Structure 1
């Protein structure tokens, strides 16, 4: 005979129960629904680094890469697509964490962040390697002959920042896996 299983109890850690929320004005607290103390945690600092590096990659790609997309071909398109989907997912997670401290424990205790961060790290390292190859094969000769050509240094910066971002996502995947397995930051 099968034993009937009882209810499953899920404990949700609340990370900001002891601190004040929102902003301090002259005599009161404003916007108490915002929990900015998330950015003081190790996880928050990693997410903030992912956002900053992602916005830098996106800005460089829009400023310099869009005009060179015909020359760079699929390498730029795959890089830029990867930047956009990782940046938008990370931004969505940060918004959830800032407006709902309970979501930190719920999302981090699931496998979602482990899979997302692992996939983001893998795709960033792959697309940046491909972009680095194409930039050095296609834009480096142009840079040699045209002294004012800014596409080569800009796109080189983009794939270097993207590679660093891929390593940050890999570290975040490792930390998310440890959290998922029960080890806390």
Structure 2
């Protein structure tokens, strides 16, 4: 079973307020586990990337080109799937046991890692070739630093998903 606590064991679920417990349907032990924190970091990076892409990248979509679309699709896909996994794991120990031991999580994280690395590389190319020259001549051109930060965070997200894929593969193979 899961290493973060199993329902029905000695650990009560939810949050204790005065003399009662609330939110007993949520497994907070999972959220505070290594895997839960990794999922939260993946979500945080996806949200930051998506926010920067929309605020600073979309107005210059004609300069950035398909690198913007590629990165937007990557963050949207990875964010949505990670949210669904996190919700499933928080509300159901059974989901954690079934999904984590299947090949789905390994394949998703491996694919997410490849997508983040490729879209971050493409965005890095677009930043150097198309945005950096504009940054040098236009005062207040914030698209270049924002997109640079975005592709660095994309590499970090790709690394997190690669680590998660490795851990999921070990779990799939029966090594915990």
Q: Residue 16 of structure 1 contacts residue 37 of structure 1 at CA under 8 Å; is this kept in 2?
A: no
Q: Provide the rounded CA distance (Å) in 2 between the counterparts of 1:68 and 1:120.
A: 25
Q: TM-score, with normalisation over the residues of structure 2?
A: 0.94
Show the counterpart of 2:50.
Answer: 58
Q: Provide the rounded CA distance (Å) in 2 between the counterparts of 1:22 and 1:57.
A: 32
Show the counterpart of 2:137.
Answer: 145
Q: Provide the rounded CA distance (Å) in 1 between the counterparts of 2:34 and 2:14.
A: 20
Q: Provide the rounded CA distance (Å) in 2 between the counterparts of 1:87 and 1:78.
A: 14
Unaligned runs of 5+ in 2: none
Alpha-carbon distance, 1:23 to partner: 1.7
Alpha-carbon distance, 1:176 to partner: 0.4
Q: Deviations over 1:149-176 (max 9, x none)?
A: 1110000000000111001100100000
Q: Provide the rounded CA distance (Å) in 2 between the counterparts of 1:24 and 1:109.
A: 32
Number of residue equivalences: 172
For residues 47-86 of structure 1, what are the structure 2 equivalents within 5 Å? 47-86=39-78
Q: Residue 51 of structure 1 contacts residue 87 of structure 1 at CA under 8 Å; is this kept in 2?
A: yes
Show the counterpart of 2:6.
Answer: 16
Q: Deviations over 1:31-52 (max 9, x none)?
A: 2101111022221111111011
Structure 1 stretches of 4+ moved >3 Å: none
User: SS in structure 2 opposite 1:24?
Assistant: strand
Unaligned runs of 5+ in 1: 1-12
Larger radius of gyration: 1
Q: Provide the rounded CA distance (Å) in 1 between the counterparts of 2:117 and 2:39.
A: 18
Matched, 1:94 2:86: yes
Alpha-carbon distance, 1:66 to partner: 1.2
Q: TM-score, with normalisation over the residues of structure 1?
A: 0.90
